[in-house]
Amino acid sequence: MDTYQQTARNTPRRLAERASYDVELVHAVLDEAYVCHVSYVSDGEPRVLPTLHARVGDTLYLHGSTGSRPMLAAREHGLAVCVAVTIIDGLVLARSQFHHSANYRSVIVHGTARVVTDEEERTRAFAALVDKVAPGRDADSRRPNRRELAQTSLLALPLVEVSAKVRSGGPSDDAEDFDLPHWSGVVPLQLTRGLPVPVAAQTVQMPAYLQSGRDAWRRPVALRGRDLVLEPLDHAHAPELFGALDDAAVWAHLTSPQPRSVDDMAGIVAAALADPDRVPFVQREVATGRIVGSTSFYAVSPVQRCVAIGYTMIGRPWWRTGVNTEAKLLMLAHAFDTLGALRVEWHTDVRNERSQRAIERLGAQREGVLRNHRQRADGTQRDTVLYSMIADEWPAARDRLAAALESGGVTCSASPTR
């Protein structure tokens, strides 16, 4: 079935040209929206109930409490309902107030909803509702027990008498208004997921299904080497990271002050995760499983195909080891070979000579000094030394660094950068 059957109830009387009975369009709107409004009559009065919904095939499932009015009313013979779902895509500003409008996609479903009693159907419907919150969540959370199931009810509404309605495009200004000195156009609106915020004392790392939604340049991925793994930074890493980096020398040239507690470190981790143009990692030893430090991609520019490496902090016991060399080799390989970067940059304090030597040993070229570029943790302004490596220089640098790691003959200092 490509289209739903048109009936008297699902045919709009106003602006009928915007109506659609296309099955794919209807399903897409129902699947994208998180909230629906269920209208019904109870005790002779109209009622409207906002609730969560999920679609499984050609059935719309509505979530509710066993003691709610619609669930009670639907027990014997079903409940006549009208369900509305609307997604606002933009605000339309015309030259005249009369023609102001909104771009939207909406679906109206008429029918008789029944209470779901079959246990297998209830299980499928509950799984669909949970996975709609976050795909993969059904398998990654405790399923309801008997008491919770007894408190929760579901209505099933067949998608038979359905219509969609869509408005898109710019304002419908009248020709006589074209010369009026008023701005006219569309303000796009979009519902987007923010950065997940864990509960206090979270010890479980954020699951991969909550990290989706970013482009390839900003998507956290694990980078695995022989002796080192770069894992996407997570709130749960704060205690171990604090222990590894609890040394004043590590923070000497960074723009953030040294954290004095795990809570302070948790704040630094939260700031790193909240930055939309930063991809932070922890550095973990393969042999011991210990976190030894942190590093990041930042200043991410897919359009210019450029990224910077910095915010590098490694615990004092691992300075002058191969940790920093392998970490940078993994990051450079990801930038150049996976993302197709044309340029990778480093920024470091002009006073941080150890960091400058380490960057130079990677094969990066010094380009100059950015004066009064950043503020230090003590409030003074710092000059920043800019280094870069371009794609043409990467193959030779890769071979040299890989050979050095294999032989154990070259290490790069891990003094902090950026």
What confidence category does residue 413 fall into, taking pLDDT thresholds of 50, 70 and 90?
A: very low
Find the mean pLDDT for residues 15-40. Answer: 94
- 249-253: list long-range contacts, CB under 8 Å, 24+ apart: 249/316, 250/313, 250/314, 250/315, 250/316, 250/416, 251/313, 251/377, 251/416, 252/352, 252/416, 253/348, 253/349, 253/351, 253/352, 253/355, 253/415, 253/416, 253/417
Give me the pLDDT at residue 321, please: 86
pLDDT in tens, 324-377: 899 999 999 999 999 999 999 999 999 999 889 989 999 999 999 999 998 888
Higher pLDDT, 410 or 147: 147
Q: Domains of the chain: which residue ranges? A: 16-188, 215-407
Name the residue with tokens 């998180």: 34
What's the CA gap between 16 and 403, in Å, rounded?
Answer: 70
pLDDT at 203 over 80: no
Instruction: List the CATH code of the domain at 16-188.
Output: 2.30.110.10
Give me the pLDDT at residue 213, please: 62
Count of alpha carbons within 13 angstroms of residue 366, beta-carbon side: 16
Name the residue with tokens 């409030």: 379
What confidence category does residue 197 fall into, taking pLDDT thresholds of 50, 70 and 90?
A: confident
What confidence category does residue 21 fall into, taking pLDDT thresholds of 50, 70 and 90?
A: very high
Q: How many other β-carbons are positioned within 10 Å of the β-carbon of residue 170? A: 14
CB 412 within 8 A of CB 362: yes
Find the mean pLDDT for residues 182-201. Answer: 85
Per CATH, the architecture of 215-407 is what? 3-Layer(aba) Sandwich (3.40)
Give me the pLDDT at residue 417, please: 65
pLDDT at 311 over 60: yes
Find the mean pLDDT for residues 79-93. Answer: 96
pLDDT at 409 over 60: no
